[in-house]
Amino acid sequence: MPKQGWLCRCGTRNQPTHRKCRGEGCGRSRPKRRVPVHARTLRDDSYETYVTINRDIHGARFEQCALCGKPKPETYRHERDHGHKRDERSFGKPRGLLCTYCNKELVGHLSLEEARAVVMYLERVERYYAGGAV
């Protein structure tokens, strides 16, 4: 079973709900949670930055999804897509705006090579059912 709470620099293990260390004479604040490198863009770059990237890279207008072209809903914004894998040039950088479906189901955590493999797979299936050579 994992240990509960947070460990202070003084060595005291504190309850998860405590904001200050309860160690004798310590009183340090709980450390801030670490933000993964790839997610720092979500913290540091505004939604408007993503709108600009979406327009510059993909030519998308009016905050539409860069993949399927779906317009931005009135009640919420599209999701901000950024690179997740260290071997990608876009790692930790904004890539554009995507609707929830495209972000979760299509792009998700695919690398460029994995996406190409999916495209090749689907093209083979289409050729097969069209009566062409595989």
Beta bridge partners of 91: 83
Task: Give the Cα separation of 97 and 47 in Å (integer).
Answer: 9
Task: Give the Cα separation of 79 and 103 in Å (integer).
Answer: 7
Please write the tens of the pLDDT for every residue from 30-82: 988 888 888 889 889 999 999 999 999 999 888 999 888 899 999 999 999 88
Beta bridge partners of 96: 81
Amino acid at 69: G
Domain definitions of the chain by residue range: 1-33, 37-108
> In the CATH scheme, what is the code of domain 37-108?
3.40.1800
Instruction: Give mean pLDDT, residues 18-22.
Output: 92
Task: Give the Cα separation of 113 and 79 in Å (integer).
Answer: 23
- Predicted confidence (pLDDT) at residue 127 exceeds the cutoff of 90: no
Q: Other CB atoms closer than 10 Å to residue 105's CB: what's the count?
A: 9
Helix, coil or strand: residue 83: strand
Q: Are 57 and 47 in contact (CB under 8 A)?
A: no
